[in-house]
Amino acid sequence: MKFDTPAGANPIDQLKVVGQPLDRIDGPLKTTGTAPYAYERHDVAPNQAYGHVVGAGIARGRVTAMDIAAARAAAGVIAIVTTLDTPRLAKAKRNAAPLFGGAEIQHYHQAIAVVVAESFEQARAAAQLIRVSYAREPGRFDLAAAAGSAPLVGGDSEEGSGAPPEDRRGDFEGAFGAAPVRLDQTYTTPDESHAMMEPHASIAAWEGDRLTVWTSSQMIAWGKADLATTLGLPPEKVRLVSPYIGGGFGGKLFLRADAVLAALGARAAGRPVKVALTRPLVANNTTHRPATIQRIRIGAGRDGRITAIAHESTSGNLKDGKPETAVQQSKLLYAGANRLTAMRLAELDLPEGNAMRAPGEAPGLMALEIAMDEMAEKLGLDPVRFRILNDTQVDPEHPERPFSHRQLVECLSRGAERFGWSGRNPKPGERRDGRWLVGMGMAAGFRNNLLTKSAARVRLDREGIVTVETDMTDIGTGSYTIIAQTAAEMMGLPIDKVRVRLGDSDFPVSAGSGGQWGANNSTAGVYAACVKLREAVAQRLGFNSADAAFAEGMVRAGNRSAPLGQAAGEAGLVAEDGIEYGDLAKRYQQSTFAGHFVEVAVDAATGETRVRRMLAVCAAGRILNPKSARSQVIGAMTMGVGAALMEDLVVDKRLGFFVNHDLAGYEVPVHADIPHQEVIFLDEVDPVSSPMKAKGVGELGLCGVGAAIANAVYNATGIRVRDYPITLDKLLDRLPEMA
């Protein structure tokens, strides 16, 4: 189905099933521990052996020798595959560094061997017996030191966030120099880890020259194609299966060493092999969010209207890596005729930087929305008022291109009213509650809406049961449920008459889970397949498809009706189709918006910061399931607390690795850190986006939260922290005197 004109009225608008806050249909499996995650698929391949991955102990150089004699002789060992025994594997297009093979080391914990044994404990013990000799080379591990000579480099996150190396509109320097009120500040964000509960894990089994991998992957089609490239196999010889994923946050968008070494280990062992990466390897061997250094300059008239805005960001990555696209939202969020964005990329020898939840906008808004607060203070304006004053209904860089639907002002206004913003004392450090300094902060949220084609297959049987098959994944986001809701609405069925099968590369290729694009596009693909199934049902029953109404398990046209299952007959009916998009995304800017409000308390003696309450008001098109959408947003808000107050992958700048590479050293929020969270969805449909009239929402809940917390800390203490995370050491020596 080609979607090239705005959606009109369609069956989804009935909202009998879609739009309802239904429980997740996969919930019982997950709460009872029976959902089959990758490493636990004991049922899929008999006689599984265990693989343990060995990571390089240097960040740059070469492996000169590997003594595996003791490991090979250890109890239970079946096979050992080393990087010196394996030619350098092909590099898939989404990997910055090769995943295995050859002597060259490009980053710390690059995989150099896999030991296969009868048990996990035996594989781990034998791996520790391998003795590796290295020729270490000097490396570059310090972003700040490399930033000064970093070249301008454009980039695209492939998640709707991107920019050229430098982009200018109007005369920024002239307008900034002439502005009566100016801000020029630098902000930094650290390297961050995805820290998902389920590590990267795979089981691989060969049947002749055919490879099946049960894995934890957000993007099945990407993973299948990249694994085939890496191993030099025809794509039709590779199958990926990933029905349940225990968190990914962007870290499982790409092929990683677990799948590759499970496949190589299984081939060497002659039997299925399962591999799970240890936490240090998750941090250092897979991807992470790269650190940034961001300079923001804003010029405005005394009336508060922005006349000049510039956002420049520097990040680092491996030689063939991409920049963190932190300037993207600054191209679109606020008005202003004179504009400059630029990105620089330093070549570093750290592990690969790549997508982490809301790449681009998440770290970019951590800087921009502090700068907007600082500018509001310079102007003597309320921060909410300043943002509303600079709203725009068109792309500021291309005024002929309107936003398809933009309710940022409504998000901010309603959020301010709901949160009690009028009670905020604009003078920092004035509100106390015993030993606590209390403050409020806010920030705008922004995330682009990305359209990508997505397909599905739907089957109807004689019992009136509809089964949906698509390689879409569920990373804890509720894909099973919203896909079932879509099919139920389209076919006039209760949701318990729909079965959903996901995460198998034998199914039609979907949007996959990433970039906040999964829900809208995957359900639009199911919509397209159901339109085709409705036509087949009407034809089988002899009805005019334009007149046929589907409701309560029946099909009606005029004075005739029949049970839906009657059309299927003994053989059943099958329809397959997908959504493909025309040029609407070029004619309209499609984005999502939020207003984030936070109250914090800072201990006046210790600098300990506690978040007391949080509110997000979101405008993101039709909300397909308010219950699962709320879960997405509060999870994102929680991640925003982590980014603001604690998350920091600490780099050893001598040896080039992340020191705190496990869940003991890498701090993330726990239940005790998270207060009351409230989420409000504005009533919105966006017919330009898709037949579902929906947009993504999950990552929007993160974008802006870190800055809202930073602004609240400033309001509480009068201390402006521009270097995340806001740890107590950055507050202690500047706290107000206790009364």
Catalytic sites, residue numbers: 699
Q: How far apart are the C-alpha atoms of 411 and 406, rounded to whole Å?
A: 10
How many Å apart are CA 269 and CA 264, to the nearest integer? Answer: 9
Spatial neighbors of 403 by CB under 8 A, at least 6 apart, are 393, 394, 395, 588, 589, 590, 591
Give every CB contact of residue 605 below 8 A, 6+ residues apart in sequence.
435, 735, 738
CA dist 360 and 347 (Å) reads 18
Q: Give phi and psi for 310, each to the nearest 5.
A: -135, 140
Peptide bond preceding 323 in cis form (omega within 30 of 0): no
- What does residue 351 show for φ and ψ, rounded to 5 degrees? -55, 160
30 alpha-carbon distance from chain centroid:
21
**Tokens 């060497």, located at residue:** 268
Q: Which tokens go with 151?
A: 């070249």
Q: Which of 302, 194, 257 is nearest to 643 (CA)?
A: 194
Among residues 205, 274, 271, the alpha carbon closest in space to that of 237 is found at 205
| Interacting residues of 270 by C-beta distance below 8 A, sequence separation 6+ | none
Residues 40 and 44: their CA atoms lie apart, in Å, by 10
What letter would DSSP give residue 289?
B
Whether residue 193 contacts residue 648, with contact meaning beta carbons closer than 8 Å, is answered with no
The answer to whether 694 and 687 are in contact (CB under 8 A) is no
Number of Cβ within a 10 Å radius of residue 131:
12
Residues 6+ apart with CB under 8 A from 710: 366, 370, 441, 644, 721, 724, 726
Among positive and negative, which fits the CA dihedral 524, 528, 533, 534?
positive
Kindly report the number of other CB atoms within 10 A of residue 559's CB atom: 5
Pair of tokens at residue 565: 């299952």
Shortest CA distance to 296 belongs to which of 170, 379, 171, 184? Answer: 184
Q: Residue 122: CA atoms inside 13 Å, Cβ hemisphere, count?
A: 15
Beta-carbon contacts of 660 under 8 Å, excluding residues fewer than 6 positions away, are: 648, 649, 650, 666
In angstroms, the CA 709 to CA 707 distance is 5
Residue by residue, DSSP assigns 140-176 as: ---HHHHHTTPPB--EE-SSS-EE-SEEEES-HHHHH
Contact 547, 446 (CB under 8 A): no
| CB-based contact 24:478 (threshold 8 Å) | yes
Phi-psi region of 110 (alpha: psi -120 to 50; beta: other; left: phi over 0): beta
Q: Strand 454-460's sheet: what is its strand order?
A: 2-3, 573-581, 454-460, 466-469, 498-501
**Gap between the Cα atoms of 573 and 501, Å rounded:** 17
Residue 483 and residue 520 in contact, taking contact as beta carbons nearer than 8 Å: no
CA distance 45 to 160: 38
